Amino acid sequence: MNKRIWLSLAHMGGREQDFVKEAFDTNWVVPLGPNVNGFEEDLAKFVGQNRHVVALSAGTAALHLGLVLLGVKTGDEVICQSFTFAASANPITYLGATPVFVDSEVDTWNMCPELLEEAIKDRYVKTGRYPKVIIPVHLYGMPAKMDQIMQIASRYGIPVLEDAAEALGSELNGQKCGTFGELGVLSFNGNKMITTSGGGALVCHTAEEAQTAMFYATQARDNAPHYQHSKIGYNYRMSNICAGIGRGQMLVLEDHIARRRAIHTLYTELLSDAKGITVMQNPSADFNSNFWLTCIVVNPKEAGETREDIRLRLDAANIESRPLWKPMHLQPVFADAPAYTNGVSEAMFNDGLCLPSGSSLTDEDIKRAVRIISQ
């Protein structure tokens, strides 16, 4: 049996252990510490736009804290992209709010600006209030149409919490994803562009926002000599050990991005003649996806088979692939949530497939996957 080709594994650069060893040698093995500070500084420099970054235990924690900072409370509604992973929507429910799902547009597979505005207007008619926050997602690293989304959000006075968990290094018009919204979210889960084993970060506009996020992430302890709490807090700060891994990963981040893009280019070339198979591409020169995962759409009529036929054939050959995200408006747990749909995300879920894209994969790994796809 050939070796297993995984969808997207963590890829160490070699320097991670140096930073972790330093943490052990200096006994900084708890949350906070020099590695946390250094990792936050590295991330802030990378994303640019004079942003401030708070390292946290998970991207989900960052989404939750972002909603807290934006004042979401019980009874509020939050607009969320439907075509995404459940972590984009779950934190809305942590606060007793209701997710309102908005479908995608065909160019990017991300939140449809026209449908977003329709949802905002309709929620006001139905509830007498505008939604509290908008959560667009840069799916599989592809930037959403943030210029249009931000214009709509500004028109109705709704802040944007930008889910860039899959989009570290992606750019729209030269600006890094995660820096368009009032707040942005990054993820360092084991399958992302870089990893801290687990972890995430909240990207803030101001130092004051970052300080507030740190306050809530460290159990909301008041400034007193004793333990006093006037707010409900959370245990969300990243450990100094995990941040050490992150500092080492930052040294190879640009290499990882370049490799994922090269893998996408190779898939595009090798599958150019495959009947009924389309590789997802940047819609225009304004978009510069990190191509965290290279995705294809299978037209069953033209291909003579479904994406599930291809997925099963890859699996039988010891190659991991994965259907695109099942939209949130189709998930049983959100069956009662309002949704504004146009069929795009359902079509992508039915016919789309994520291909092995990890930065540690070789060209021969990609060619082997394509040989199986093309059988």
pLDDT(281) > 90: yes
Grade residue 1 by pLDDT with cuts at 50, 70 and 90. Answer: low
Bridge partners (DSSP) listed for residue 200: 56, 187
Taking the alpha carbons at both ends of the chain, their separation in whole angstroms is 18
Grade residue 30 by pLDDT with cuts at 50, 70 and 90. Answer: confident
Per the CB < 8 A criterion, the answer to whether 54 and 210 are in contact is yes
Per the CB < 8 A criterion, the answer to whether 199 and 56 are in contact is yes
pLDDT tens-digit map of 162-185: 999 999 999 999 999 999 999 999
Rounded Cα–Cα distance for residues 363 and 272 (Å): 16
pLDDT reported for residue 25: 87
pLDDT(354) > 80: yes
pLDDT reported for residue 287: 98
Grade residue 239 by pLDDT with cuts at 50, 70 and 90. Answer: very high
Per the CB < 8 A criterion, the answer to whether 276 and 304 are in contact is yes
Average pLDDT over residues 134-148: 98
pLDDT reported for residue 375: 87
pLDDT tens-digit map of 193-215: 999 998 999 999 999 999 999 99
What does the mean pLDDT of the chain come to? 97
Average pLDDT over residues 331-360: 98
Rounded Cα–Cα distance for residues 61 and 54 (Å): 11
Rounded Cα–Cα distance for residues 194 and 139 (Å): 16
Average pLDDT over residues 13-38: 89
pTM of this prediction? 0.96
pLDDT reported for residue 216: 96
pLDDT(31) > 90: no
Q: Rounded to whole angstroms, what are the CA distances from 196 to 25, 209, 290?
A: 19, 23, 19
Q: What one-character DSSP code corresponds to residue 36?
A: H
Tokens of 168: 């570290």
Average pLDDT over residues 252-263: 98
Grade residue 92 by pLDDT with cuts at 50, 70 and 90. Answer: very high
pLDDT(341) > 90: yes
